[in-house]
Amino acid sequence: MDELTGMAIGKARQMANRATAYADAPEEANQTIRDQNLTIATLRRELAEARLELLVKVAHAEGMRAYGDEFKKAHPNSPVLADSGRLHKDGDRKLNGTLAYEAAFDRILRDARISDPTKYRAD
């Protein structure tokens, strides 16, 4: 085989390899798209579940607020509604029930490894 023929064969092989790579590229791209679509579907499902969970928790909080309002009306002299001797940031007095709320709130966030729950609860 002369040098020119060897170069031609090498070039032909190189072109054949490129053609094979180009032929595989659409299938690889399609697989990437399928994988991404699966990821998107999973994330959408997780987001919908998280939204529902949040909505349920917000509804629970509002229900507890209404329950507390009714409790205050029915039992204005309850020790739960007595002054705890502590103050909110705005200077208003905290009730004993508020201290129970804060303790439970802080415990839940600390259990979730949130180091400063006070950053997230109303004061």
Q: Nearest Cα to 104, choosing from 64, 51, 53?
A: 64
- For 20, the domain range is 1-54
DSSP string, 6-59: HHHHHHHHHHHHHHHHHHHHHHHHHHHHHHHHHHHHHHHHHHHHHHHHHHHHHH
123 and 88 housed in the same domain: yes
Predicted confidence (pLDDT) per residue in 30-63, tens digit = 889 999 999 999 999 999 999 999 999 999 999 9
pLDDT of the residue at 27? 83
Give yes or no: residues 7 and 49 share one domain: yes
Is residue 3 located within the same domain as residue 49? Answer: yes
> Is 65 among the domain residues?
no
Task: Note whether 1 and 43 are same-domain residues.
Answer: yes
Q: Are residues 45 and 81 in the same domain?
A: no
Residue that wins the pLDDT comparison between 98 and 5: 98
User: What confidence category does residue 116 fall into, taking pLDDT thresholds of 50, 70 and 90?
Assistant: very high
Residues 1 and 37 in one domain: yes
pLDDT at residue 1 greater than cutoff 70:
no
**Residues 14 and 48 occupy one common structural domain:** yes
Q: Does residue 83 share a domain with residue 47?
A: no
Tell me the pLDDT tens digit for each residue of 65-100.
999 999 999 999 999 999 999 999 999 999 999 999
The total of structural domains in the chain comes to 2
68 inside domain:
no
Decide if 61 is inside a domain. no
